[in-house]
Amino acid sequence: EVQLEQSGAEVKEPGESLKISCKGSGYSFSTHWIAWVRQMPGKGLEYMGIIYPGDSDTRNSPSLQGQVTISADKSTSTAYLQWSSLKASDTAMYYCARIYSGSQADAFDIWGRGTLVTVSS
């Protein structure tokens, strides 16, 4: 079964660092882009960026440039989303998703269940 397994919920204080993970299984992890998607409480889906695990080619959304770091380890089929100094406004659900690239369109075809990050003092 093709799936993405995300790490568990986190509760952090402002200023702390954090790294959450997304482990792929059931397919060739190295050859599919992985996207990170943010959903703030009661809000819509927001694209954060993508990574190609095969060579770690990374594209960060211009609107979030510098706020997070996306990385991957193809040897463990795991992608990561990292913050060096969290803010209360980082409180959100974070999803990873596999990108299917077809002849007609790209699609986020497999999603993780999400990691809830709560930042509060």
Partner 1 sequence: SSELTQDPAVSVALGQTVRITCQGHSLRIYYASWYQQKPGQAPVLVMYGKNNRPSGIPDRFSGSNSGNTASLTITGAQAEDEADYYCNSRDSNGDHHYVFGTGTKVTVL
95 near partner 1, judged by CB under 8 A: yes
55 near partner 1, judged by CB under 8 A: no
Beta strands in 7-91 (DSSP E): 10-12, 18-25, 34-39, 45-52, 57-60, 69-73, 78-83
**Strand pairing of 45-52 and 34-39?**
antiparallel
Minimum distance of partner 1 from residue 121's CB (angstroms): 26
Minimum distance of partner 1 from residue 21's CB (angstroms): 16
Which residue among 65, 75, 104, 121 contacts partner 1 (CB under 8 A)? 104
Which residue among 20, 22, 34, 50 contacts partner 1 (CB under 8 A)? 50
Strand partners, 51: 34, 58
| Closest to 97 (Cα-Cα) out of 2, 19, 14 | 2
Q: Residues in the site for partner 1, rule: CB under 8 A?
A: 35, 37, 44-47, 49-50, 59, 61-63, 95, 97, 100, 102, 104-109, 111-114
